[in-house]
């Protein structure tokens, strides 16, 4: 049995080859998405203050920045889409401002990348 990985479009497939004396079987199944979203930013921000969130697309296996595929990403706060961003050379900056205190779950992704979610606590000063 041999296990390898192969990229097909925007996903990584696990390819298993099993050989017997009579036949060879090749099984391909979804392993992960090629690009994964990585987010950087503060974990806490005051009410009404603009915050920036760094967005980077990284390769699934070595974490290097993805530059050969940059889809439009949707930014959601607590499940509601708030904006879209188009990475340039695999990176983008998102600016957000919250007017109410609380903890917000920010998710960035699209159907062809592995999304990422962070929690941002918005506090009264």
Query: Is the confidence at residue 108, as pLDDT, over 90?
Result: yes
| Length of the chain as a residue count | 125
Domains parsed from the chain with CATH numbers: 2-31 (no CATH), 35-123 (2.60.40.10)
- pTM score, whole prediction: 0.84
Burial class of residue 27 (count of CB atoms within 10 Å of its CB; 0-12, 13-18, 19+): exposed
Q: Tens digits of per-residue pLDDT, 1-29?
A: 889 998 888 889 999 999 999 999 999 99
- What's the CA gap between 5 and 25, in Å, rounded? 16
Q: Tens digits of per-residue pLDDT, 41-83?
A: 999 999 999 999 999 999 988 999 999 888 999 999 999 999 9
Given this model, what pLDDT does residue 69 score?
Answer: 85
């Amino acid at each position: 049995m041999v296990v390898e990985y192969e990229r097909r479009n925007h996903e990584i497939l696990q390819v298993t080859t099993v050989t017997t004396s009579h036949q060879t079987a090749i099984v391909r199944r979804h392993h992960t998405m090629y690009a994964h979203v990585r987010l950087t930013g503060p974990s806490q921000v005051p009410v009404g203050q603009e915050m920036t969130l760094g967005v980077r697309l990284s390769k699934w296996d070595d974490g290097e920045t993805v530059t050969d595929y940059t889809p439009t990403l949707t930014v959601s706060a607590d499940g509601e889409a708030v904006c879209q961003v188009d990475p340039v050379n695999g990176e983008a900056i998102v600016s957000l401002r919250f007017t109410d205190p609380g903890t917000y779950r920010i998710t960035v992704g699209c159907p062809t990348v592995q999304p990422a979610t962070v929690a941002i606590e918005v506090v009264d000063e």
